[in-house]
Amino acid sequence: MAEPVDIPEDDEPGEDVKKFMFVNRRAPYGTIYALEGLEMVLITGAFDQDVSVVFMDDGVFQIVKGQDTKAVNMKNFSPTYRALEGYDIDKLYVERESIEARGLTAEDFVVPVKVLSAAELAGLMAEQHVIISA
Amino acid sequence: MAYEINGQTIEHDEEGFITDVSQWTKELADYLAEKETINMTPEHWEVVNFLRGYYNEYQIAPAIRVLVKQMKVAFGPEKGNNKYLYELFPYGPAKQACKIAGLPKPTGCI
């Protein structure tokens, strides 16, 4: 077994903080994109980066309330989105056009979200250092 | 790869994390702690139980920074800090305590 690791200082100030935006565009189950995307978000948050998360197109279904995955035999990972707050990730956006097309409102999600139009999101995207779409 | 405890076979990965969270028992925790040369005190159990509660709610094992923060909220600053947790789990609290708690390896843990 290796030597015990060095104890990190509490609340080390972050250096080299970049603005990351993760854009989720696919339904949560059927492919691995949503789950892998969420993992990337968590890792980026664990490294104290400035993280925004966008849900658009069928990606809005990732955070919809009342998911039941028994029939597709996959783990329901929607509760994990509620852990984002603990990772200091609270910039969660949904695209207005996407939720309107699917008959959803801001109250239909497991986490508090800000509803923005495609044009407003484009403005936010222009401010990012890194954008990752999944 | 599997642990054999009281006639029960419990699969684990190459790093010793059990693969099916629902197979966890207190006996397994004691067994894993012994392998990690940790003597389980009530303080150790407090962290292990806290991690199991976190997993139950969010379906993931927290990163160490998040564990520290949530411990601070739940038990106050004297327990919600890196030093306290590393004294209990010298080889890394997120990794060691999660293993004993039967959780997967924490996301973002390298």
- Considering CB atoms only, which of A8, A43, A86 is closest to B108? A43
- Considering CB atoms only, which of B59, B86, B108 is closest to A46? B108
Q: Is the Cβ pair B86, A83 closer than 8 Å?
A: no
Query: Chain B within 8 Å of A43 (Cβ-Cβ)?
Result: yes
Residue A15 has phi, psi (to 5 degrees) of -120, 155
At B101, list the tokens.
């708690």
Do A101 and A107 form a contact (C-beta atoms < 8 A)?
no
Do A93 and A53 form a contact (C-beta atoms < 8 A)?
yes
Beta bridge partners of A52: A21, A91
Q: Is the Cβ pair B65, A2 closer than 8 Å?
A: no
- Could you tell me the residue ranges of all domains in chain A? 21-133
The C-alpha of B51 sits at a distance from chain A's nearest C-alpha, in angstroms, of: 13
Q: Tell me the chain A residues in contact with residue B107 when contact means C-beta distances shorter than 8 Å.
A: 39, 42-43, 46
Lowest mean pLDDT among A77-86, A119-128, B98-107: B98-107
pLDDT, tens digit only, all 110 positions of chain B: 899 988 889 999 999 999 999 999 999 999 999 999 999 999 999 999 999 999 999 999 998 889 999 999 999 999 999 999 999 999 988 789 999 999 998 875 54
Whole-angstrom Cα distance, residue A53 to residue A41? 8
Query: DSSP readout, chain B?
Result: -EEEETTEEEEB-TTS-BS-GGG--HHHHHHHHHHTT----HHHHHHHHHHHHHHHHHSSPPPHHHHHHHHHHHH-TTTSSHHHHHHHSTT-HHHHHHHHTTPPPPTT--
At B52, list the tokens.
């199991």
Residues of B in CB contact (< 8 Å) with A are 57-60, 62-66, 68-70, 81-83, 86, 90-92, 107-108
Residue, of A15 and B4, whose pLDDT is higher: B4
CA count, 13 A, side-chain hemisphere, A36:
9
At B48, list the tokens.
């292990």
Query: Chain B within 8 Å of A75 (Cβ-Cβ)?
Result: yes
Q: What is the pLDDT of residue B110?
A: 45
Q: Domain B2-100 is of which CATH architecture?
A: Orthogonal Bundle (1.10)
Provide the number of CB pairs (under 8 Å) joining chain A to chain B.
57
Question: What are the CA-CA distances from residue A75 to residues A18, A28, B21, B45, B79 (Å)?
Answer: 32, 11, 12, 27, 32
Helix B26-35 to helix B93-100 angle (10° resolution) is 140
Q: What is the pLDDT of residue A9?
A: 65
Phi-psi region of A49 (alpha: psi -120 to 50; beta: other; left: phi over 0): beta
CATH of domain A21-133: 3.40.1260.10
Whole-angstrom Cα distance, residue A20 to residue A49? 7
Q: What is the pLDDT of residue B109?
A: 55
Whether the predicted pLDDT of A125 surpasses 80: yes
What are A24-63's pLDDT values in tens digits? 999 999 999 999 999 999 999 988 899 999 999 999 999 9
What are A99-113's pLDDT values in tens digits? 999 999 999 999 999
Q: How many residues does chain B have?
A: 110
At B44, list the tokens.
């150790």
**Comparing C-alpha atoms, which of A60, A44, A59, A111 is closest to residue A82?**
A111
- Considering CB atoms only, which of A9, A46, A79 is closest to B63? A46
The C-alpha of A123 sits at a distance from chain B's nearest C-alpha, in angstroms, of: 30
Residue, of A1 and A25, whose pLDDT is higher: A25
Q: Can you tell me the mean pLDDT for A61-89?
A: 95
Query: Chain B within 8 Å of A9 (Cβ-Cβ)?
Result: yes
